[in-house]
Amino acid sequence: MRLLVIGGTSFVGRTLVSDALGRGHEVTTFNRGLTGKDVDGVEALRGDRSTDEGIRPLAGRRFDAVIDPGGLVPAHVLRTARATAGSAPFYAFVSTTAVYRTWDTAPVDESAATWPGAADQEGDPADLGKLRVHKRGCELAVEQVFGLGASLIARAGSIVGPYDNLGQLPWWLTRIAEGGRVIAPGDPARGLQLIDVRDISVFVLDQVEAAAGGVHNVVPDGTNTTMGRLVDTCVRVTGSDATPVWMDEGFLLSQGVQPWTELPLWIPDLPDVGGFWAVSGASAKAAGLRTRPFADSVRDTWEWLRSGGEVQAAPGTPPFGLAMEKEQQVLAAWDSRQAGDN
Protein backbone atom coordinates (compact mmCIF):
# COMPACT_ATOMS: atom_id res chain seq x y z
CA MET A 1 0.00 0.00 0.00
CA ARG A 2 0.96 3.63 -0.42
CA LEU A 3 0.60 5.18 3.00
CA LEU A 4 0.79 8.80 4.09
CA VAL A 5 1.79 9.18 7.73
CA ILE A 6 1.42 12.61 9.30
CA GLY A 7 4.43 13.24 11.52
CA GLY A 8 6.00 9.82 11.80
CA THR A 9 9.16 10.70 13.71
CA SER A 10 8.37 10.06 17.38
CA PHE A 11 6.87 7.30 19.52
CA VAL A 12 3.52 6.19 18.03
CA GLY A 13 4.21 7.71 14.61
CA ARG A 14 7.74 6.38 14.43
CA THR A 15 6.60 2.90 15.39
CA LEU A 16 3.83 2.95 12.79
CA VAL A 17 6.27 4.01 10.08
CA SER A 18 8.84 1.36 10.98
CA ASP A 19 6.20 -1.38 11.09
CA ALA A 20 4.60 -0.25 7.82
CA LEU A 21 7.98 -0.35 6.07
CA GLY A 22 8.57 -3.79 7.58
CA ARG A 23 5.33 -4.96 5.98
CA GLY A 24 6.52 -3.79 2.59
CA HIS A 25 4.37 -0.68 2.27
CA GLU A 26 5.53 2.53 0.58
CA VAL A 27 5.50 5.25 3.21
CA THR A 28 5.46 9.00 2.75
CA THR A 29 5.76 11.14 5.85
CA PHE A 30 4.54 14.71 6.10
CA ASN A 31 5.97 16.89 8.85
CA ARG A 32 7.84 20.11 9.57
CA GLY A 33 11.18 18.38 10.09
CA LEU A 34 11.46 19.77 13.61
CA THR A 35 10.63 16.95 16.03
CA GLY A 36 12.99 14.21 14.96
CA LYS A 37 14.71 12.41 12.13
CA ASP A 38 12.59 10.63 9.56
CA VAL A 39 12.86 6.85 9.57
CA ASP A 40 15.17 5.55 6.86
CA GLY A 41 13.25 4.32 3.84
CA VAL A 42 10.45 6.88 3.76
CA GLU A 43 9.76 9.65 1.28
CA ALA A 44 9.79 12.73 3.49
CA LEU A 45 7.64 15.73 2.60
CA ARG A 46 7.99 18.98 4.50
CA GLY A 47 4.99 21.10 5.30
CA ASP A 48 2.89 22.61 8.06
CA ARG A 49 -0.78 21.73 8.23
CA SER A 50 -1.59 24.74 10.39
CA THR A 51 -2.09 26.78 7.19
CA ASP A 52 -3.63 26.17 3.78
CA GLU A 53 -0.32 27.06 2.16
CA GLY A 54 1.55 24.66 4.39
CA ILE A 55 -0.52 21.69 3.27
CA ARG A 56 0.08 22.27 -0.46
CA PRO A 57 2.91 19.70 -0.78
CA LEU A 58 0.21 17.02 -0.58
CA ALA A 59 -1.57 18.32 -3.68
CA GLY A 60 -1.64 15.94 -6.64
CA ARG A 61 -0.48 12.90 -4.68
CA ARG A 62 -2.46 9.70 -4.25
CA PHE A 63 -2.38 7.30 -1.33
CA ASP A 64 -4.24 4.19 -0.26
CA ALA A 65 -4.66 5.55 3.27
CA VAL A 66 -3.70 8.38 5.59
CA ILE A 67 -2.50 7.61 9.12
CA ASP A 68 -2.57 10.50 11.57
CA PRO A 69 -0.95 9.39 14.84
CA GLY A 70 -0.53 12.69 16.62
CA GLY A 71 -3.04 15.35 15.60
CA LEU A 72 -3.76 17.72 18.49
CA VAL A 73 -5.57 20.67 16.91
CA PRO A 74 -8.95 19.98 15.27
CA ALA A 75 -8.57 22.63 12.57
CA HIS A 76 -5.21 21.13 11.53
CA VAL A 77 -6.71 17.64 11.27
CA LEU A 78 -9.72 19.01 9.40
CA ARG A 79 -7.39 20.72 6.92
CA THR A 80 -5.44 17.49 6.44
CA ALA A 81 -8.57 15.41 5.96
CA ARG A 82 -9.97 17.83 3.39
CA ALA A 83 -6.65 17.97 1.53
CA THR A 84 -6.50 14.17 1.23
CA ALA A 85 -10.19 13.30 0.85
CA GLY A 86 -9.95 13.12 -2.93
CA SER A 87 -6.65 11.29 -3.03
CA ALA A 88 -6.99 8.66 -0.27
CA PRO A 89 -10.03 6.48 0.47
CA PHE A 90 -9.30 5.85 4.17
CA TYR A 91 -8.15 7.89 7.19
CA ALA A 92 -6.87 6.44 10.47
CA PHE A 93 -6.59 8.74 13.48
CA VAL A 94 -4.96 7.83 16.79
CA SER A 95 -6.95 9.50 19.52
CA THR A 96 -7.07 8.97 23.28
CA THR A 97 -9.42 7.58 25.90
CA ALA A 98 -9.09 11.01 27.55
CA VAL A 99 -11.99 12.11 25.31
CA TYR A 100 -14.38 10.44 27.77
CA ARG A 101 -16.06 12.90 30.08
CA THR A 102 -16.44 10.95 33.33
CA TRP A 103 -14.52 8.14 34.98
CA ASP A 104 -16.73 7.32 37.96
CA THR A 105 -18.22 4.13 36.54
CA ALA A 106 -16.69 1.02 35.03
CA PRO A 107 -16.29 -0.21 32.42
CA VAL A 108 -15.91 2.80 30.13
CA ASP A 109 -16.79 1.73 26.59
CA GLU A 110 -17.13 3.52 23.26
CA SER A 111 -20.70 4.55 24.04
CA ALA A 112 -19.66 6.65 27.05
CA ALA A 113 -20.20 10.41 26.91
CA THR A 114 -17.30 12.38 25.46
CA TRP A 115 -16.17 15.94 25.92
CA PRO A 116 -17.67 18.39 23.44
CA GLY A 117 -15.45 19.26 20.52
CA ALA A 118 -15.55 21.26 17.32
CA ALA A 119 -14.02 20.06 14.07
CA ASP A 120 -12.79 23.52 13.09
CA GLN A 121 -11.40 24.60 16.46
CA GLU A 122 -7.99 26.26 16.40
CA GLY A 123 -5.52 26.03 19.27
CA ASP A 124 -1.98 25.51 20.48
CA PRO A 125 -0.76 21.90 20.14
CA ALA A 126 1.26 22.33 23.32
CA ASP A 127 -1.80 23.31 25.38
CA LEU A 128 -2.38 19.88 26.87
CA GLY A 129 -4.90 21.35 29.29
CA LYS A 130 -7.31 21.23 26.36
CA LEU A 131 -6.19 17.80 25.15
CA ARG A 132 -9.52 16.12 25.92
CA VAL A 133 -11.63 18.63 24.03
CA HIS A 134 -9.15 19.03 21.19
CA LYS A 135 -8.78 15.30 20.60
CA ARG A 136 -12.54 14.93 20.41
CA GLY A 137 -12.62 17.78 17.90
CA CYS A 138 -9.96 15.97 15.85
CA GLU A 139 -12.12 12.85 15.81
CA LEU A 140 -15.09 14.89 14.60
CA ALA A 141 -12.96 16.45 11.86
CA VAL A 142 -12.05 13.01 10.50
CA GLU A 143 -15.62 11.73 10.76
CA GLN A 144 -16.98 14.87 9.08
CA VAL A 145 -14.80 14.45 5.99
CA PHE A 146 -14.39 10.68 5.64
CA GLY A 147 -17.42 9.32 7.48
CA LEU A 148 -17.40 6.49 9.99
CA GLY A 149 -17.19 3.77 7.35
CA ALA A 150 -13.96 5.06 5.82
CA SER A 151 -12.16 6.12 8.98
CA LEU A 152 -10.61 4.52 12.02
CA ILE A 153 -10.65 6.28 15.39
CA ALA A 154 -8.22 4.43 17.64
CA ARG A 155 -8.60 5.71 21.20
CA ALA A 156 -5.38 4.67 22.85
CA GLY A 157 -5.00 4.35 26.59
CA SER A 158 -1.79 4.94 28.57
CA ILE A 159 1.05 4.05 26.19
CA VAL A 160 4.41 2.51 27.05
CA GLY A 161 7.30 1.09 25.06
CA PRO A 162 10.54 2.01 23.29
CA TYR A 163 10.97 5.57 21.95
CA ASP A 164 8.62 6.88 24.64
CA ASN A 165 8.06 10.64 24.33
CA LEU A 166 6.08 10.95 27.57
CA GLY A 167 8.53 9.59 30.12
CA GLN A 168 6.39 7.77 32.70
CA LEU A 169 7.73 4.23 32.51
CA PRO A 170 11.25 5.54 31.71
CA TRP A 171 11.16 7.54 34.94
CA TRP A 172 10.35 4.47 37.01
CA LEU A 173 13.10 2.51 35.29
CA THR A 174 15.79 5.16 35.71
CA ARG A 175 14.79 5.96 39.30
CA ILE A 176 14.75 2.31 40.33
CA ALA A 177 18.04 1.68 38.55
CA GLU A 178 19.60 4.27 40.86
CA GLY A 179 18.79 1.99 43.79
CA GLY A 180 18.06 2.80 47.41
CA ARG A 181 14.65 3.27 48.98
CA VAL A 182 12.00 4.14 46.40
CA ILE A 183 8.55 5.45 47.22
CA ALA A 184 5.84 3.12 45.91
CA PRO A 185 2.27 4.43 45.95
CA GLY A 186 -0.85 2.85 47.41
CA ASP A 187 -1.89 -0.76 47.14
CA PRO A 188 0.57 -2.99 45.24
CA ALA A 189 -2.45 -4.93 43.94
CA ARG A 190 -3.95 -1.83 42.30
CA GLY A 191 -4.60 -2.84 38.69
CA LEU A 192 -3.18 -0.87 35.75
CA GLN A 193 -4.19 -0.92 32.09
CA LEU A 194 -1.24 -0.09 29.85
CA ILE A 195 -0.79 -0.60 26.11
CA ASP A 196 2.49 -1.13 24.29
CA VAL A 197 3.06 1.27 21.39
CA ARG A 198 3.92 -1.67 19.14
CA ASP A 199 0.56 -3.31 19.81
CA ILE A 200 -1.20 -0.07 18.85
CA SER A 201 0.83 0.01 15.65
CA VAL A 202 -0.04 -3.57 14.67
CA PHE A 203 -3.73 -2.96 15.34
CA VAL A 204 -3.89 0.30 13.36
CA LEU A 205 -2.01 -1.16 10.38
CA ASP A 206 -4.22 -4.26 10.38
CA GLN A 207 -7.34 -2.07 10.27
CA VAL A 208 -5.86 0.15 7.56
CA GLU A 209 -4.94 -2.82 5.40
CA ALA A 210 -8.50 -4.14 5.74
CA ALA A 211 -10.03 -0.64 5.31
CA ALA A 212 -12.00 -1.45 8.46
CA GLY A 213 -13.62 1.69 9.82
CA GLY A 214 -14.83 2.13 13.37
CA VAL A 215 -14.18 3.58 16.80
CA HIS A 216 -12.22 1.43 19.23
CA ASN A 217 -10.63 1.79 22.65
CA VAL A 218 -7.16 0.43 21.93
CA VAL A 219 -6.43 -0.91 25.39
CA PRO A 220 -6.05 -4.35 26.96
CA ASP A 221 -9.46 -5.80 27.71
CA GLY A 222 -8.97 -5.56 31.46
CA THR A 223 -6.06 -4.65 33.69
CA ASN A 224 -2.83 -6.23 32.45
CA THR A 225 -0.53 -5.51 35.37
CA THR A 226 -0.52 -3.99 38.84
CA MET A 227 1.43 -1.21 40.47
CA GLY A 228 3.28 -3.86 42.45
CA ARG A 229 4.26 -5.81 39.34
CA LEU A 230 5.31 -2.57 37.64
CA VAL A 231 7.73 -1.73 40.45
CA ASP A 232 8.97 -5.31 40.89
CA THR A 233 9.54 -5.75 37.15
CA CYS A 234 11.54 -2.52 37.00
CA VAL A 235 13.70 -3.80 39.87
CA ARG A 236 14.23 -7.12 38.11
CA VAL A 237 15.03 -5.89 34.61
CA THR A 238 17.42 -3.17 35.84
CA GLY A 239 19.18 -5.54 38.26
CA SER A 240 18.80 -2.85 40.92
CA ASP A 241 19.11 -3.17 44.69
CA ALA A 242 16.22 -0.71 45.08
CA THR A 243 13.86 -1.28 48.00
CA PRO A 244 10.24 -0.21 47.39
CA VAL A 245 8.65 1.57 50.34
CA TRP A 246 4.89 1.19 49.96
CA MET A 247 2.98 4.16 51.35
CA ASP A 248 -0.76 4.55 51.66
CA GLU A 249 -2.36 7.05 49.32
CA GLY A 250 -3.74 9.29 52.06
CA PHE A 251 -0.28 9.82 53.46
CA LEU A 252 1.21 10.61 50.05
CA LEU A 253 -1.53 13.14 49.33
CA SER A 254 -1.02 14.74 52.77
CA GLN A 255 2.64 15.22 51.84
CA GLY A 256 1.68 17.05 48.66
CA VAL A 257 2.84 14.28 46.31
CA GLN A 258 1.11 14.76 42.98
CA PRO A 259 -0.48 11.70 41.40
CA TRP A 260 0.40 10.96 37.78
CA THR A 261 3.12 13.59 37.46
CA GLU A 262 5.39 13.16 40.50
CA LEU A 263 4.66 9.43 40.78
CA PRO A 264 3.90 8.46 37.18
CA LEU A 265 0.98 6.11 36.48
CA TRP A 266 -0.32 6.51 40.05
CA ILE A 267 -4.02 7.32 40.08
CA PRO A 268 -5.48 7.26 43.62
CA ASP A 269 -8.23 4.70 44.15
CA LEU A 270 -11.08 7.21 44.52
CA PRO A 271 -14.75 6.96 43.45
CA ASP A 272 -14.58 9.70 40.81
CA VAL A 273 -11.85 7.82 38.90
CA GLY A 274 -13.16 4.31 39.43
CA GLY A 275 -13.23 3.70 35.69
CA PHE A 276 -9.79 5.09 34.88
CA TRP A 277 -8.11 1.68 34.74
CA ALA A 278 -11.31 -0.06 33.65
CA VAL A 279 -11.75 0.96 30.02
CA SER A 280 -13.41 -1.69 27.89
CA GLY A 281 -11.12 -3.09 25.22
CA ALA A 282 -13.69 -5.62 24.03
CA SER A 283 -14.36 -3.88 20.72
CA ALA A 284 -10.68 -3.67 19.74
CA LYS A 285 -10.09 -7.24 20.91
CA ALA A 286 -12.93 -8.45 18.70
CA ALA A 287 -11.38 -6.50 15.81
CA GLY A 288 -8.04 -8.23 16.30
CA LEU A 289 -6.08 -6.34 18.99
CA ARG A 290 -3.51 -8.53 20.69
CA THR A 291 -1.38 -7.31 23.57
CA ARG A 292 2.02 -8.55 24.67
CA PRO A 293 2.95 -9.33 28.29
CA PHE A 294 3.61 -6.12 30.20
CA ALA A 295 6.98 -7.40 31.37
CA ASP A 296 8.12 -7.41 27.73
CA SER A 297 7.32 -3.71 27.47
CA VAL A 298 9.34 -2.94 30.60
CA ARG A 299 12.31 -5.02 29.42
CA ASP A 300 12.34 -3.54 25.92
CA THR A 301 11.99 0.02 27.20
CA TRP A 302 14.94 -0.53 29.52
CA GLU A 303 17.02 -1.98 26.68
CA TRP A 304 16.18 1.08 24.59
CA LEU A 305 17.27 3.40 27.41
CA ARG A 306 20.48 1.42 27.99
CA SER A 307 21.33 1.61 24.30
CA GLY A 308 21.26 5.41 24.39
CA GLY A 309 17.55 6.05 24.05
CA GLU A 310 16.38 9.32 25.53
CA VAL A 311 12.89 10.66 26.15
CA GLN A 312 12.28 13.58 23.79
CA ALA A 313 9.24 15.00 25.52
CA ALA A 314 6.42 16.23 23.33
CA PRO A 315 5.70 19.98 23.58
CA GLY A 316 3.57 20.75 26.63
CA THR A 317 4.29 17.42 28.33
CA PRO A 318 4.89 17.99 32.05
CA PRO A 319 8.14 16.71 33.55
CA PHE A 320 7.51 13.40 35.30
CA GLY A 321 9.04 12.27 38.54
CA LEU A 322 9.61 13.16 42.15
CA ALA A 323 12.53 15.48 42.90
CA MET A 324 15.20 13.82 45.02
CA GLU A 325 14.93 16.37 47.83
CA LYS A 326 11.16 15.93 48.08
CA GLU A 327 11.50 12.17 47.93
CA GLN A 328 13.86 12.21 50.90
CA GLN A 329 11.52 14.50 52.84
CA VAL A 330 8.57 12.20 52.25
CA LEU A 331 10.60 9.13 53.21
CA ALA A 332 11.70 10.85 56.43
CA ALA A 333 8.11 11.81 57.26
CA TRP A 334 7.01 8.23 56.62
CA ASP A 335 9.75 6.85 58.88
CA SER A 336 8.73 9.29 61.60
CA ARG A 337 5.10 8.24 61.34
CA GLN A 338 5.99 4.56 61.42
CA ALA A 339 8.19 5.10 64.48
CA GLY A 340 5.35 6.96 66.19
CA ASP A 341 2.92 4.13 65.44
CA ASN A 342 5.32 1.74 67.14
Residue-wise pLDDT for 61-88, tens only, equals 999 999 999 999 999 999 999 999 999 9
- pLDDT average, residue stretch 223-229: 97
Per-residue pLDDT tens digits for 282-336: 999 999 999 999 999 999 999 999 999 999 888 888 889 999 999 999 999 999 9
Percent pLDDT > 70 in the chain is 100
Helix, strand, coil content of the chain in percent (nearest 5) = 40, 20, 40
Domain 2-161+193-218 has what CATH class? alpha beta
Buried-state track 120-151, b at ≥16 Cβ within 10 A, e below 16 = ebebebeebebbbbbbbbbbbbbbbbbeeebb
Structural contact between residues 169 and 176, judged by C-beta atoms closer than 8 angstroms = no
- pLDDT average, residue stretch 146-155: 97
Structural contact between residues 294 and 205, judged by C-beta atoms closer than 8 angstroms = no
pLDDT value of residue 229:
98
Per-residue pLDDT tens digits for 111-121: 999 999 999 99
DSSP 57: G
Comma-separated ranges of CATH 3.90.25 domains in the chain: 168-192+223-277+292-337
- pLDDT average, residue stretch 152-175: 97
pLDDT at 342 over 70: no
Select 168-192+223-277+292-337's CATH number: 3.90.25, 2.60.40, 1.10.10, 3.40.50.
3.90.25
Per-residue pLDDT tens digits for 120-134: 999 998 888 899 999
Comma-separated ranges of CATH 3.40.50.720 domains in the chain: 2-161+193-218
β pairing state of 181-185 and 243-247: parallel
Per-residue pLDDT tens digits for 10-47: 999 999 999 999 999 999 999 998 888 999 999 999 99
pLDDT value of residue 128:
85
pLDDT value of residue 315:
81
The pLDDT mean for the chain works out to 95
- pLDDT average, residue stretch 79-104: 96
